[in-house]
Structure 1
Amino acid sequence: MDISNHARKYMEWEPKYNWETCKTNRREFGEFIAHFLTADSRVINLDGIYGSGKTEFIRRLYIELAKRNHPVVYIDIWESDFSTNPLAVICSELIQQIEFILKEKSPNSEIKNENKATETFNQLKAKLGTCLHYATLASLVSGDNSISTEISSVNAAISAIPNLITESKSQKYVETIQKNHVAAVQAMKDIKEYITYISELIEVIYKLNTPIVILIDELDRCRPTYAIETLEVIKHFFETKGCTFLVATNTEVLEHSVQAVYGSTFDAKHYLRRFFDRKVSLPPISTVDYLKAKQLDFSKYTNSGINLHPLITMDIIIEVFADLFEANNIELRGVEQILNRFFTSLDYALGIKENSNTVINTIVLIVGLIEQHLDKPELSERKNNNPLRTNIKTNYSQLSGTIDVMFNCVMTTESKVKYKGHGHYREHAYAQEMLTIESYNFGDIEILGYSRDSITIFTEIIHQYNNPKCNYWLWENYQRVIELSGHIQ
């Protein structure tokens, strides 16, 4: 069987969401979780904070499961947050995937089993239709008619939905609901049995592996009531042999959603244990490894007249960036946003560059972008006449000192003494405007703990600042481009 028949998103996702393109080094973990998910039928909570890469991880897990010959379904439940009936959403996706499989021609020896599978599949649709019909009647009594539209939208998948009652009197609706309640309860039991039986037949007929795996993404972003209803649907309708769920959430946020419904003193942790058999925590990533995997490259700029300082190796730049991200608790999504703005800023500098070289300090730019990301006031308040130090955290003192020095390379001051390095200086009768770094003896200053190259770096910076052919960025240039990049989300 073609993989796309038991994993409909495979052809679309495989080129992008495979382990070779994974920059978070989670392949081994993903392969382990794929084995864990398919060892039995259960409901698993995948816990990860916002921006930790849950969506990218479970899409790669989807590809992994598909390659392991498991029927797999992906549902971004947040996309249906406008809905009032998660049952319609989940059963529609599941029914469509099973239908895709059953449309595949079976071996002649399996015709009998194929007929059984088709018959059971139709019975499954009918039972789901009964439950959806029951839910519709309940919604009509409550005055919420939106669900009727939602259910009609899945008729293509669930063709056996009974005709909806159109009587207008609410008493008749109540009577009808009471009459159908027993049927709905029995239908819920039958649905579980049918799913188990179909999964067994699929395994026999098409040599697929079971359980069927359903990946639920973005639950923690949904309205609190909708998130809870989704968990209830999974538990009551689909928690059965032959079907496994992985529900990706920021579990702490999901707990707050539960408390928003049931009250702040409600034991949300205990409540959620009713729905999940196990909780799996998404492991943290190494920011250094992530940045190395991105293969950051400045050659596009340095080969086109953009001079980047300080002149240190790419490995050191990556270590600096990683330290700043980690020390300030910037999640993966935030790292991506900041890096996008960083390179957009360099692209902008390249676009407006004329004949002269443009001189940009990478450390000042990245620190300013982090200040922006964290809404630090010094970003806008820092001026030549108010040279505020940054409050951005670092994990080691050498980097903190280097940041201060780099800001002194993009700020100006007035001084009678101008240093030239190697102990040489010139004293003027009157105060002269100069880079702040020129106003004191920089010979003994270390950059990232390396004093040997510091004089060479500072000498080159000062030369470029004083070269009329160089477009040397001072702090107001950084402020402006950071402000512009802030409009990019």
Structure 2
Amino acid sequence: MHEEINEWSGDVLQRKRYADFLTQYLVAKKGPFVININAPWGSGKTFFIEHWCEDLKKEHPCVLFNAWENDFSNDPLLSVISCIEKDLSPLLSVTDKNDKKINSGLSKAGKYLKSIAPILARAAVSKAIGKDGLEELQQLNEKDEKAATEIVEKVTEQLIRNNKAVEKAIENFEESLKDLIEKLTCNRSDLKKPLFIFIDELDRCRPLYAIELLERIKHLFGVPGIVFVIATDTEQLKHSVNAIYGSGFDSNTYLRRFFDQSYTLPLPNYIEYAKLLFQELDSDLVDRFVQIGISASGDEKNLWIGNGGDNSGYSKRNDYTLTTEQNNRAELVLLFSLFSAFFKLDLRTQKQCYEKILAITSSVPFGEKLHFAYLIFLVMLETKDPVVFKEYFSFGKDQGHEKKELIKTKFSSFHNIRCKKSQGCLQRG
């Protein structure tokens, strides 16, 4: 007997079960761990991450960092530290909040790391010999070998001092993290290890910001008792890596350096995703659509238009036909999902088509109505293949057969779209 899962409110994709599975897997990990949650843009990653985080807060300290909202920052490390302090400070006792080591350790270490971690040669030279010395260095010729040697020695000394300072700052930073985790989990009976830090929408950030954030997490947060959950459209993140390191760079191998494990969320089917898109559609917009009344597959054959237009065929149930009873939003969901399946649209394109339909509907004068099925067809046709869309409108009003043959020739699908003849709807796809 399967254990009943208390689903999240609005979880039309039924993803809580995946969160429960991942929680059991990650809690069992003893050391620091970084997992990548991969799913295409627009597939509900943020909903998944936010609700999973809320679930975990009942038993674990949690931090939720939206990378894209903090993309304006010059340094991602300070943004993450600020978010950690903001989300975890309310969980500390009054005594722990007054602990200077906990209260300021992360910020001080983070600011110091930011100032000295990028030890570039030019910066190091500037610190060692000053601006005037740097200008002189640029003017050196081969006869100034002795002077150049002295400058190099100064630079080397400065680099060594900086490297030691970096090591010390990292050590202090890690100690501050360990102390914070111990205070959160050992002084309270309701919270336990690990500390979960969720990073969302990293793939939407500027390429350099995204890469720097991954680097900081990898090199500075390797502390037992911390689990990083990084949600990305990994294919898009690969493009960010290539934008920094070049198109020929092996971004796949590079990203594997940062993730101990990857988990790809199962993609929703067409109906599930349409439900996700339409779940918050304003009822006023729903009323602007002509409802065509979709019946279950297998109705009497005289209700349907046959292949030859003579009401023949379709007397038997078709297993590939998705159906619903007429009830406003459900009908919109079904039609949208059917046309998405017919045109084989990916999630991103479905989202774009939905937004376009909303824009068109919102611009319609009050009192006028749109034929929803035909609107979806035209929007998706234009999005999928603009050339065919233009060709479709090159036919006259009396060339319905030619239009149908054009679509049948260019596209194919297991999903049939059939409507009553009296409604003047498309008879197939």
The answer to whether the superposition gives a TM-score over 0.5 is yes
* Aligned counterpart, 1:89: 79
C-alpha separation in 1, matches of 2:268 and 2:222: 32
Q: Which amino acid aligns with 2:213?
A: T
Question: Structure 2 vs 1, CA of residues 341 and 140 (structure 1 numbering), >3 Å: closer, same or farther?
Answer: same
Please state if 1:20 is matched with 2:9: yes
* Structure 1 pair 298–115 and aligned structure 2 pair: CA distance change class (3 A): closer
Hey, what does 2:146 align to over in structure 1?
none
Change (3 A) 1:168 1:393: same
Tell me if structure 1 keeps the 8 A contact 2:76–2:212. yes
Name the amino acid aligned to 2:82: S
Aligned to 1:363: 373
| Aligned position for 1:123 | 105
* Contact 1:302–1:308 (Cα < 8 Å) also in 2: no
- Structure 1 unaligned blocks of 5 or more: 1-17, 106-110, 145-163, 403-446, 448-453, 463-489
What displacement does 1:138 show? 5.2
SS of 1:206's partner is coil
CA 1:303/1:218 → structure 2, altered by over 3 Å: closer, same or farther?
Answer: closer
Aligned pair in 2 of structure 1 residues 328, 72: CA closer, same or farther (>3 Å)? farther
Letter in 2 for 1:32: F
Q: Alpha-carbon deviations, 1:226-261, whole Å to 9, x = none?
A: 322211100111121122111112222323333343
* Distance (Å, rounded) in 1 between the aligned partners of 2:9 and 2:123: 53
Moved more, 238-247 or 172-181: 172-181
Change in 2 beyond 3 A, CA 1:55/1:311: closer
Between the aligned partners of 2:42 and 2:285, the Cα distance in structure 1 is: 29
Instruction: Say yes or no: does 1:225 pair with 2:197.
Output: no
Which amino acid counterpart does residue 91 of structure 2 have in structure 1? I
SS at match of 1:240: coil
- Cα pair distance change 1:143/1:285, threshold 3 Å: farther
In the other structure, the counterpart of 1:108 is none
Residue type of the alignment partner of 2:413: N
**Among 26, 31, 38, which residue is 1:47 paired with?**
38
- State the SS of the aligned residue for 2:291: strand
TM-score for the superposition, normalised by structure 1: 0.61
Q: Take 1:270 and 1:169, find their aligned partners in 2: how far apart are those partners?
A: 43
Is 2:382–2:388's contact at 8 Å kept on the other side of the alignment?
Answer: no
- 2:61 maps to which of 64, 71, 82: 71
In 1, distance between residues paired with 2:250 and 2:234? Answer: 13
User: What is the letter of the counterpart of residue 49 of structure 2?
Assistant: I
Q: Is this contact kept in 1: 2:194–2:226, CA < 8 A?
A: yes
Give the aligned residue type for 1:362.
F
CA distance in structure 2 between the aligned counterparts of 1:376 and 1:176, rounded to whole angstroms: 61
CA spacing shift, 1:345–1:170, aligned 2, 3 Å: same
Instruction: Give the structure, 1 or 2, with the largest relative contact order (CA under 8 Å, sep 6 or more).
Output: 2
In structure 2, give the amino acid aligned to 1:368: L
1:99 aligns with 2:116: no
**Cα deviation 1:105-157 (Å, max 9, x = unaligned):** 3xxxxx5xx3895434433433333312314775982899xxxxxxxxxxxxx
- State how far apart, in whole Å, the 1-side matches of 2:345 and 2:379 are: 12
Gapped regions of structure 2 (runs ≥ 5): 1-6, 135-150, 296-324
Q: Which stretch of structure 1 is more off in the superposition, 49-58 or 254-263?
A: 254-263
How far apart in 1 are the matches of 2:178 and 2:256? 24
Worse-matched range after superposition: 314-323 or 83-92: 314-323
Alignment partner of 2:414 out of 377, 388, 396: 396
Number of residue pairs matched?
Answer: 356
- The 8 Å contact of residues 342 and 415 in structure 2, kept in 1 or not, is answered as no
User: Are residues 397 and 92 of structure 1, via their aligned partners in 2, closer, same or farther at CA, if it must alter by over 3 Å?
Assistant: closer
CA distance in 2, matches of 1:340, 1:261: 31
* Distance change >3 Å, CA 288–CA 121, structure 1 → 2: same
Tell me, yes or no, if the aligned pair for 2:343 and 2:413 is still in contact at 8 Å: no
Compared with structure 1, are the counterparts of its residues 190 and 311 closer, same or farther at alpha carbon in structure 2 (3 Å cutoff)?
closer
